[in-house]
Amino acid sequence: MSIRLGVPRWIVMVAAVGGLFIVLPLIAMAARVDWPDFIPLITSPSSVDALLLSLRTSLLATAACLVLGVPMAIVLARVPFTGSRVVRAVVLLPLVLPPVVGGLALLALYGRRGLLGGALDVAFSTPAVVIAQTFVALPFLVLSLEGALRSAGERYEAVAATLGARPSTVLFRVTLPLVLPAIVSGSILSFARALGEFGATLTFAGSLQGVTRTLPLEIYLQRENDPDAAVALSLVLVAVAIAVVAVAHGAGEGLRPRRVSADADVRARAA
């Protein structure tokens, strides 16, 4: 007889309901797809343009999130300063703001009559889409990376510093490699959020085929008079999202063992 480990059965049941809650609507949507016409529906020029634009802008937005978000997370996790709590709350704002509000805020800054006085003429252009996506996606990267940095602790960094490593060396040789899985998963979350961005883009960037009409905007428009195309495109978006998550998961898993074994190694030596 072995000891029964594990969780109460009712937890499993509720979890199963939660899983169905997420999966059933997607299955229902897949059942609605007009399969014989699926390929023609998703390969129409406007659909292809929208998909390519979405992938391009989401990648750029993810890159922008990395450039801005990694330093933000490091500062929030490692630099104690007064008001850091307020700063953290503000950084997370785009996460809780309705996207349309985000779009209005972006307009108020970058718009022609905005605070910058139209110095940055981005309205109705692809950069406006990237700005909107970066704005809503940034908190995802900062949030997940900051958490990882905190739980990783500063032990190794302290050791490296005592051994004479300069701060930049510590950052690139110790800190970032330690949280690489979090950087990858944070980037994926940001990419996914950018891919799904709708409200801020609609408010701030406009909607023109190949320039600002991303996949979610195209789906919203197609739904007006071609629901079949809208459903087919929605499925494409779901497929892209699943592919991204799968790739990310694979990449994250690939990175993890090394860190774990390094950890175990250190622990073994410490013991």
Partner 1 sequence: MKARPRRFARLASAGVSAIAVVALALSGCSSPAASTPSAPRSSDGVTGTITVFAAASLTKTFTELGTRFEAAHPGAKVTFSFAGSSDLVSQLTAGAPADVFASADQANMTKAVDAKVTSGSPVDFATNVLAIAVPPGNPAHVTGFADLASPSVKTVVCAPQVPCGAATAKVEKSAGVTLTPVSQESSVTDVLGKVTSGEADAGIVYATDVKGAGSAVESVPFPEAAKTVNVYPISVVAQAPNAAGARAFVAYVTGAAGRAVLAAAGFGAP
Q: Name the site residues for partner 1 (rule: CB under 8 A).
A: 9, 12-13, 16-17, 20-21, 24, 107, 111-113, 123-124, 202-203, 206-209, 212-213, 217, 220-222, 224-227
State which residue, 162 or 225, has the beta carbon closest to partner 1: 225
Q: Do residues 179 and 156 lie in contact, with contact meaning Cβ atoms separated by under 8 Å?
A: no
What is the closest distance, in whole angstroms, from the C-beta atom of residue 22 to partner 1 in the complex?
A: 12
Amino acid at the residue 121: D
Compute the distance between CA of residue 201 and CA of residue 117 in angstroms, rounded to an integer. 20
What is the closest distance, in whole angstroms, from the C-beta atom of residue 180 to partner 1 in the complex?
A: 37
State which residue, 129 or 184, has the beta carbon closest to partner 1: 129
The alpha-carbon radius of gyration of the chain (Å, integer) is: 22
State which residue, 59 or 211, has the beta carbon closest to partner 1: 211
- Which DSSP letter does residue 182 get? H
Q: Do residues 103 and 203 lie in contact, with contact meaning Cβ atoms separated by under 8 Å?
A: yes
Q: Three-state DSSP class for 241?
A: helix
State which residue, 46 or 165, has the beta carbon closest to partner 1: 46
Compute the distance between CA of residue 170 and CA of residue 79 in angstroms, rounded to an integer. 15
What is the closest distance, in whole angstroms, from the C-beta atom of residue 38 to partner 1 in the complex?
A: 20
Element (H, E) at 126: helix 126-152
What is the closest distance, in whole angstroms, from the C-beta atom of residue 107 to partner 1 in the complex?
A: 6
State which residue, 137 or 202, has the beta carbon closest to partner 1: 202
Element (H, E) at 16: helix 9-32
What is the closest distance, in whole angstroms, from the C-beta atom of residue 209 to partner 1 in the complex?
A: 8
What is the closest distance, in whole angstroms, from the C-beta atom of residue 225 to partner 1 in the complex?
A: 5
State which residue, 12 or 264, has the beta carbon closest to partner 1: 12
Q: Which of these, 195, 220, 196, lies nearest to 207 by C-alpha position?
A: 220
Q: Which of these, 104, 107, 185, 204, lies nearest to 146 by C-alpha position?
A: 185
State which residue, 1 or 271, has the beta carbon closest to partner 1: 1
What is the closest distance, in whole angstroms, from the C-beta atom of residue 8 to partner 1 in the complex?
A: 13
Q: Which residues of 48-79 are buried (b: 16+ CB within 10 A; e: fewer)?
A: ebbbebbbebbebbbebbbeebbebbbebbee
Residue 257 tokens read as: 């063992």
